[in-house]
Amino acid sequence: MLVEAARTMLIFSRAPLFLWAKAIATACFTQNRSIIHRRFNNTSYELINGRKLDISFLYVFGALCYPKNDREDIGKLGAKGDINFFIGYSADSCAYGIYNRMTKKIMETINVLFDELSTMAFKQRSSKLGLQSMTSGQISLGLDLTYAPSTITMQQPTEGELDLLF
């Protein structure tokens, strides 16, 4: 079950395959804290520790994230963080593991801003044919649904841009 979860996480996030160990560790971490055993009606974490865990700190594997740059002098208008993606949780502390595709480095930090929605929105946009919408005339004619052309022009990222991000 862990291998299937890790495989799904790697494919969905388009992460490099050398991160498979991080994906398996993250799958194990999240499953121990979220899957409820039918026999005990508790998660593995609750069985071991005797208390419920706040899971609000869990994030989507491969989500875009921006670690805060506190160490370097960036000046007034310099970038405060690079675009990275989330690859797991630290085993030793409350930090998050993130991967920078530009520098090809993995780091752990607690000062991170997460952007899970842009990754999920891109996946949804690329898999849908179109959005269902109704005009006021269709509502009065008995709810005849049709696909309407989008009024928003969306630009798909190029392969080069995707490689930089993922």
User: What is this structure's pTM?
Assistant: 0.63
- Residue 153 maps to a domain: no
- Residue 156 maps to a domain: no
| d(C-alpha 65, C-alpha 47), whole Å | 32
Using pLDDT thresholds of 50, 70 and 90, give the confidence band for residue 50: confident
Task: State the amino acid at position 122 in one-letter form.
Answer: F
Using pLDDT thresholds of 50, 70 and 90, give the confidence band for residue 145: very low
- Residue 106 maps to a domain: yes
- Is the confidence at residue 152, as pLDDT, over 50? no
Domain count for the chain? 1
Which residue range is the domain that position 19 belongs to? 2-120
| d(C-alpha 85, C-alpha 16), whole Å | 11
The mean per-residue pLDDT over the stretch 41-69 comes to 87
pLDDT at 77: 66
- Residue 161 maps to a domain: no
Name the average pLDDT for the chain.
76
Nearest to 60 by CA among 4, 20, 108, 98: 98
Run of H or E residues at 139: helix 136-140
Instruction: Check if the beta carbon of residue 152 is closer than 8 Å to that of residue 133.
Output: no
Query: Percent of the chain at pLDDT above 90?
Result: 27
- Residue 127 maps to a domain: no
The mean per-residue pLDDT over the stretch 134-147 comes to 44
